[in-house]
Structure 1
Amino acid sequence: MIQLEHINLVVSDVDAMLHFYGAAFPHWHIRSQGTGDWNGKPRRWLHFGDDYNYIALSDNGEGDNRDLSGHQVGLAHFAFVTHDLAAMINRLEAAGYDIHKAGADNQYRKNIYFLDPQGFEVEFVEYLSDIPAERNSDD
């Protein structure tokens, strides 16, 4: 089996990102962290996650994230599966984050999109079926 282990995001404010992802994943923690030099520029980095998955964050990012309504090459969004989408929404809204956009109407899954503090679109999905054909359907 192959699974995604981590996502590495270059950001301008690591602490703001920790606030968002800490609200989304209260069981996650800083696995490791440090400072260093990356291509001639100092940076703070950390790995925030659990024993199996994490988000790598590095600061000193420059510029703005891509325009999500445009057609530029780059990351459109990434998604996490949750077993309780309502609880996820409640945690993020309680932490001060608004829903960015609603997900598609589908009888086998619910989803919602948030923007993290750096402008990455994050989808959260709750599947309502264990049958792959249903989970992956466009119905």
Structure 2
Amino acid sequence: MYLEHVNLVVDDMDAMLDFYRAVFPHWRVRDEGHGEWYGKPRKWVHFGDDEHYLALSDHGEGANRDLKGHSVGLAHFAYVTDNLDAVVARLNNAGYAIAKPGAVEPFRKNVYFVDPAGFEVEFVEYLSDIPAERNLNRDAQESVT
């Protein structure tokens, strides 16, 4: 079993596609169309590869959840990469800055960006192929000892 897609409601489809094209230059628009969501017209796009994609719908209204707040909602989602520096460089070159650095851990490095719709996206590169090391969280370890 694996996660096939995430469905995000946005207000600016072009800005979202620009951001995710910088992240995933090999992804493409797999499918797109128009429809209606509870009485409101919407355009939708499936942007991804043959296995995974983002489903984007352009009928969003209002602001996304305050990421510094405590409201119920999506905190972030994460993608694993083999080359974090390349992802960061592509996003920086497209005009996006790191929103938050990741924790300093011996077996992984990660950063967070905020996409144009206000969703926080983590990118992580693992520096070990040993699951116990990859999943080690020193903050949790220190609080246990």
TM-score (norm 1): 0.98
Q: What is the rounded CA distance, in whole Å, between the counterparts of 1:115 and 1:138 in structure 2?
A: 23
Mapping for residues 56-71 of structure 1, pairs under 5 Å = 56-71=55-70
Matched, 1:95 2:94: yes
Look up the SS of the partner of 1:17 in the other structure. Answer: helix
Counterpart residue type for residue 134 of structure 2: R
Identity of aligned residues (%): 67
Match of 2:143 in 1: none
Residue segments in structure 2 that go unaligned for 5+ positions in a row: 139-145
Distance 2:100 2:40 in 1: 36
Structure 1 unaligned blocks of 5 or more = none
Deviation (angstroms), 1:51: 0.3
Specify the alignment match of 2:115 in structure 1: 116
Q: Across the two proteins, how many residue pairs are aligned to each other?
A: 138
Cα deviation, 1:75-131, whole Å, max 9, x if unaligned, reads 000000000000000000000000000000000000000000011000000000011
Letter of the 1:45 counterpart: W
**Alpha-carbon shift at residue 60 of structure 1 (Å):** 1.6
The corresponding residue for 2:141 is none
CA–CA separation in structure 2 for the residues paired with 1:3 and 1:111: 21
Secondary structure of 2:31's counterpart equals strand
Residue identity opposite 1:34 in structure 2: G
Q: What residue number does 1:37 align with?
A: 36
Partner SS, residue 20 of structure 1: helix
Displaced runs of 4+ in structure 1, greater than 4 A?
A: none
Counting only pairs closer than 5 Å after superposition, residues 1-139 of structure 1 correspond to structure 2 as: 2-139=1-138
CA distance in 2, matches of 1:119, 1:20: 12
The amino acid across from 1:86 in the alignment is D
